[in-house]
Amino acid sequence: MQVNVLEYFERSALARFRDKVAIRERAGQYTFGELERYAKNCAALILKRVEAANQPIAVFLPKSAQAVIAALGSLYSGNCYANLDVKSPPQRLKRVLQSLEAPVIVTNAAHASVLRAAGIEEKQLMLIERSISDKADYDDRLLQKRIELIIDTDPAYILFTSGSTGVPKGVIIPHRGIIDYIDWAKKCYDISDREVIGNQAPFFFDNSTLDIYLCFACGASLVLIPEDVFAYLLKLVEFIREMAVTTIFWVPPVLTSIANFKILDAVRLPPLKKILFAGEVMPTRTLNYWRRWYPKALFSNLYGPTEITVDCTYYVVERDFTDDEPLPIGFPCRNTDILILNEQHQPAAIDEPGELCVRGSSLALGYWNNPEKTAQAFVQNPLNSRYPERIYRTGDLVYRNHRGEIMFLGRKDFQIKHLGYRIELGEIEHAALQFEEIRNCCVLYNQNKKEIVLFYESGKELPPAFIRERLLSHVPKYMLPSVFHRLDAMPLNGSGKIDRQTLLAAVK
């Protein structure tokens, strides 16, 4: 029985592929053997400062092989890691570090100055450059003893998400959650050592978990696509072709931008075989564009909040969908159970909307240093009064259709009461995305003015009357937006999702 995620790295990658290139990036490449040596050097340096186990080791590095080495080093030392966004505003970074109380912050010389400017003491900093050495500065027997103490409910990593009070929440993911997820994904998507995975997600976003740990578990190669490449769609597609990428797990806005500008029409296609996506609703029009160019590829829609170890449902696309037909989020991943609870906290009937709740060992341990928020989100299963059983209430509204597929409706906090009607803003977004002229969109509610606001991405200004008339064929009159804003491009956050907070600030 596997009890920690390092066993993927040691039993699969190292045992079978020690000399194979594991990670390729702009700065160079690293074999699995090099990753091991540098990570163990890193672990030895951590242990000189931290004696206790299960301590949070902050990693303040851009997406890079160095960041992977720091994460592995944290695990080898018997601790967990927390990847931080190097572009965080100083005040947010301070709040995160205050919450984390990390005894060590692994960074590099280029980013150490940012931490010093934020008031971080020099004694907390540890430069990753000291680990990148061919000299073995570690005691393998000591590290092995540390690893043997790890159990599967120990924390593996902490990811910080935004908090409603302005204080970021650190989601604690255990080894068991990652093991469940990766074992399922390997089998479901038939991942082998022949895969070349093209990473899009930054390491402070949980989608990167699939990329990194499939690399370790299967001996696959991982290509870290530079962030600046995503700004030039033609170069992006050419880059993944040159890197011979076969598998991607990207957020829908990236795939949608490629489809909207018809980039695949103009390039020699990369050898993609598996195209996975999650993080936001995938417009079916985008999916159909990609399927036309990749008729033999596997396409899969995944869904899950950070608190569920990346994803808890999936849907492998095996039938045709019209452009205006919503895509299912599908079925529970292995060893995960999905409860859809109505307002009476009872199982919702077929086609009845309810809140998606999750139970199983994929659940996070809670929020770091925040028992109050943990107790609010991770609650007793209302369907079970016989023994303690935690479920996570996602705040997302879904329903099951007659095929047994789970269909996503939107966030509970995106459900509004307007003119006496209960409205799902996501339904309006889906309708607007049927316009050929609209490349992407976001619908928000201005509570102060009681207005539904449509932000749309388009190459030209569309008359409001034209938009309303077209929308009326999809939604009732009471759901029509009253305010319209055209954008050349949707603002995106660091994870590649639409930055709703920026848009919301614009309408207040």
The answer to whether residues 41 and 133 touch, using CB atoms and an 8 Å cutoff, is yes
Can you give the pLDDT at residue 475? 87
Can you give the pLDDT at residue 319? 96
Can you give the pLDDT at residue 166? 56
Can you give the pLDDT at residue 254? 94
In the CATH scheme, what is the code of domain 336-409? 2.30.38.10
Identical fold between 31-173 and 336-409: no
Q: Vertex 245, ends 243 and 246: CA angle to 5°?
A: 155
Tens digit of pLDDT for each residue in 422-465? Answer: 788 888 998 899 898 999 999 999 888 889 999 999 999 999 99
pTM of the model: 0.88
Alpha helices in 1-125 (DSSP H): 6-7, 15-17, 32-47, 65-76, 90-100, 109-117
Q: Please choose, from the candidates 477, 473, 435, the residue with its C-alpha nearest in 3D space to the C-alpha of residue 456.
A: 435
Can you give the pLDDT at residue 168? 83
Distance CA 203, CA 27 (A): 17
In the CATH scheme, what is the code of domain 419-507? 3.30.300.30
> What are the boundaries of each domain within the chain?
31-173, 336-409, 419-507
Which residue carries 């931008």 as its tokens?
A: 257
Can you give the pLDDT at residue 331? 98
C-alpha distances in angstroms, 213 versus 7, 106, 184, 271?
Answer: 11, 21, 12, 22
Distance CA 67, CA 105 (A): 12
In the chain, pLDDT over 70 holds for what percent of residues?
99
C-alpha distances in angstroms, 353 versus 385, 406, 425?
Answer: 24, 10, 14
Can you give the pLDDT at residue 163? 57
Tens digit of pLDDT for each residue in 79-133? Answer: 999 999 998 888 889 889 999 999 999 999 999 999 998 889 999 999 999 999 8
Whether domain 31-173 has CATH 3.40.50.980: the reply is yes
Can you give the pLDDT at residue 119? 87
Q: Vertex 305, ends 346 and 173: CA angle to 5°?
A: 110
Which stretches of the chain score pLDDT less than 50?
164
Can you give the pLDDT at residue 76? 98
Tell me, what amino acid is at 195?
Answer: E
Task: Give the side-chain half-sphere CA count within 13 A for 496.
Answer: 28
C-alpha distances in angstroms, 256 versus 146, 228, 276, 284, 489?
Answer: 45, 18, 13, 10, 12
Q: Please choose, from the candidates 182, 186, 190, the residue with its C-alpha nearest in 3D space to the C-alpha of residue 209.
A: 182
The answer to whether residues 35 and 65 touch, using CB atoms and an 8 Å cutoff, is yes
